[in-house]
């Protein structure tokens, strides 16, 4: 069966992906992003957050959006710096 996979990481992309019947959201994530952790992503099916054990159905729209961005640094305005 086919599902639409929308990866919102970086430039992002969308593609139709063949998956076996009975594939869960967590199994789909592991196959699509094997080097990533699910805790770093907001995963939605048909625009709704779902549990990891939800089984995908024909035509589902799966969106994976990172919640953490590597390389971001904390900055403070100059007015918050204390000079001694």
What is the number of residues in the chain?
Answer: 84
Task: Indicate the domain borders of the chain.
Answer: 2-80
Can you give the pLDDT at residue 8?
A: 80
Band the pLDDT of 84: cuts 50, 70, 90: low
What is the spatial distance between Cα 17 and Cα 3, in angstroms, rounded to a whole number? Answer: 5
d(CA 45, CA 54): 9
**CATH fold for the domain made of 2-80:** Ubiquitin-like (UB roll) (3.10.20)
Contact 11, 43 (CB under 8 A): no
Q: What are 3-45's pLDDT values in tens digits?
A: 999 988 767 789 999 999 999 999 999 999 999 898 888 999 9
């Amino acid at each position: 069966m086919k599902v639409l996979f929308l990866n919102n990481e970086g430039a992002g992309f969308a593609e139709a992906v063949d998956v076996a019947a009975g594939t869960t959201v967590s199994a789909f994530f592991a196959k699509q992003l094997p080097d990533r952790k699910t805790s770093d992503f907001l995963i939605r099916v048909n625009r709704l957050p779902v549990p990891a054990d939800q089984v995908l159905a024909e035509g589902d729209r799966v969106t994976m959006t990172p919640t953490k961005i590597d390389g971001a640094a904390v900055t403070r305005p100059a007015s918050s710096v204390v000079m001694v």
